[in-house]
Amino acid sequence: MRYFTLALGVLAFTAHAEDISVKSPDGDLVLTFSDENELAEYSLTFKGKKLIDASKLGFTFEQAQPMYRDFSVKEVSRDKHNDSWEQPWGEQRIIENTYNELAVEFTHTDDAQRKFVVRARVFDDGIGFRYEVPGSGQRNITRELTQFHLTNPDAATAYWIPGQGRERYEYLYRETPLQDVDLAHTPFTVKYEDGTHLAIHEAALVDYAGMSLQRQDGGRLEANLSPRADGTLVHKEGSFTTPWRTITVGEQAVDLINSYISLNLNEPNKLGEVDWINPGKYVGIWWGMHIGKYTWGSGDKHGATTERTKQYMDFAAKYGFDGVLVEGWNKGWDGNWIENSQLFSFTESYPDFDVKAVTDYGKKKGVKLIGHHETSGGITNYEEQMEDGFKLYQDHGVEQIKTGYVAFGQNLKRRDENDIMRYEFTDSQPVVNHFINNVSTAAKYELAINTHESVKDTGLRRTYPNWISRESARGQEYNSGVGAPNPANHIPTMSFTRMLAGPMDFTPGIFDFDYKRPEVPENDTVDFERRPMSTLTRQLAQYVVLYSPIQMAADLPENYLKHKQAFQFIQDVPTDWEKTEALQGEVGDFIVIARQEKKDRDYSGDDWYLGAVTNEEPRTVTVKLDFLKPGKKYEAQVYQDKQDTDWKDNPYAMSYETKTVTAKDSMDLYLATAGGAAVRFKALN
């Protein structure tokens, strides 16, 4: 808002230009841009209550003039948009995309060439805005000044993990007063005392650095971009646009899950026909290494052998799994592989693993080999071999590759244009660009990528549908007995934080909680400090609650045959969905989600699945079944904890029953401490 003051003797008056605002289609959200005190700013209200107070916009550069102070604002354009689009795979087949758009231009009051446009889209459930900066020549960003000035910070609770830390995104979530936040990754979720929730994130992270949030004074959070090896943040040549900064808003926690702002702000599919991307379920030679039964490296306990892979393929074929993941097949795993990334080969296998023999056997069984490329953060070593590795897999009928980047802190290794080794964060600009190079190159070989130790998801699966899943959080391997397991509140917290970003390859389905690692003496009692905090039915619920188009049955095959009734749910549950509804939940407490099986030409898609997970508090949740199709009858196949189920002493106790239900009914589900429930609603008519 510009103020002009004229002094005439003792008489003075102030005039100002109008603020420039845009409303959501339903009118509840109002986004306003202003130039009060000649600063570039924005604010946001929800149902008449201010959520984001005046917050700065702009940049500083290494040498170019800064952009934020002494700026005036004017309107550039407005637009309305209302359509829908179809995902090739996803948690929701049809995505509604309705918003009002406003573009404003901030121009320096003394230099008309120093300007930038902010383009904003306001949806009923939140906003997204990005910078569009004209210009020429090289500009190195040293600070993005975007702020999120949350009002009434003393009434706000934040749920967050540290940004730019040693463990990338693999931290337990913290629940703190907003005022106690330090540097936090996004998605960053806030709950107010009146029940209003918001989540700050970003969309379409391309050729830019990932954004964390740095707490300033009061309720102010400022964008903190992951630095490059040289300390600058982003290098740009000529005109550039930034990723979208997003704020999702809801009256209750589940509104955040039921939003698709991030997907809508990404560009449509760039890959063309993608019928070669196949969602599904897989087993793998993976958990055995984590619990110490096998090794990734060569030797007597080597996990990735030809014979063992064939055995896993036999199991997969018998029980309806699409693929077998094999980790540790290629040379480079011996010794300190985390530090020696340059030793990895992506085409040479260990002598006891024959790629051709395995894939030929899989073809007979109708089971695909799922490939694996561990890089240890060796970006340059991987890129030099990447296409050869992709070609090898394509030649043998592989369709999916799990990639890994196990490197701690700012330790991903990249040689620059001057052949100098640089050390980068997972979300620095060069590594962000590497990930996009990886998935776009894989598409040329019709390969889907599941990235572990990856940069966070920002909806790019819409643009690159072969980026089929990723990790980017603390997953199942933390329950393997090395250190403290994931606590009971981990999944009910991730549902409202990490999972807002997109699919996660959590690798659920552990059925044996009594394993002992080799280093534990045989006569030792169970160490409850390291045992997974889970019941058997909680493992089933994860297949519905934690969305991914590819889901692993992570345990050893023999452990599933000890619990055949529970295993049936894993065999039944799909991974591609027609519709998703988050029904109930509170951050860190519990979550209930229902998903409808995807329709296709040969199947009506009337079956629904439900998952519910609780924290350390046992509870009974009453679920209305009005998401089911009216007038139809369903057989509800209900897997839930018993009253005496206990994650420490009785984790395998499970109740199974069937009943006929309709959309008019409700269902009570008991969730034990660290427990869960899973239901299949099988259409009957």
For residue 253, give every residue at least 6 positions away whose Cβ sits within 8 Å of its Cβ, in sequence order, or none.
Answer: 191, 197, 496, 585, 586, 587
Amino acid at 164: Q
| Cα distance between residue 308 and residue 296, in whole Å | 13
CA distances from 181 to 52, 184, 194, 218 (A): 17, 7, 20, 11
| Tokens of residue 130, six digits | 């990005």
Task: Tell me the pairing of strands 197-203 and 244-250.
Answer: antiparallel
The three-class DSSP label of residue 323 is: strand
| Tokens of residue 385, six digits | 């071999």
Task: Specify whether the CB–CB gap between 304 and 285 falls below 8 A.
Answer: yes
CA distances from 591 to 92, 252, 255, 677 (A): 18, 12, 12, 11
Quick check: is 273 catalytic? Answer: no
Alpha helix stretches (DSSP H) within 445-478: none
Task: Specify whether the CB–CB gap between 666 and 680 falls below 8 A.
Answer: no
For CA atoms 666, 670, 676, 677, the dihedral sign is: negative
For CA atoms 472, 475, 480, 486, the dihedral sign is: positive
Strand partners, 129: 120, 245
Task: Tell me the pairing of strands 619-624 and 577-586.
Answer: unpaired
| Tokens of residue 395, six digits | 């030649």
In 3D space, the residue among 611, 621, 538 whose CA is nearest the CA of residue 574 turns out to be 611
Vertex 586, ends 585 and 590: CA angle to 5°?
Answer: 60
Q: Distance of alpha carbon 393 from its chain centroid, rounded? A: 26
Catalytic site residue from 38, 91, 477, 578? 477
Task: Specify whether the CB–CB gap between 470 and 450 falls below 8 A.
Answer: yes
| Cα distance between residue 287 and residue 274, in whole Å | 31
| Cα distance between residue 252 and residue 199, in whole Å | 12
CA distances from 332 to 5, 348, 373, 384, 477 (A): 71, 9, 11, 15, 21
> What's 92-115 look like in SS3?
CCEEEEEEEEEEEEEEECCCCCCE
In residues, how long is the chain?
685
| Tokens of residue 302, six digits | 């080597």
Q: So which residues are the catalytic ones?
A: 477
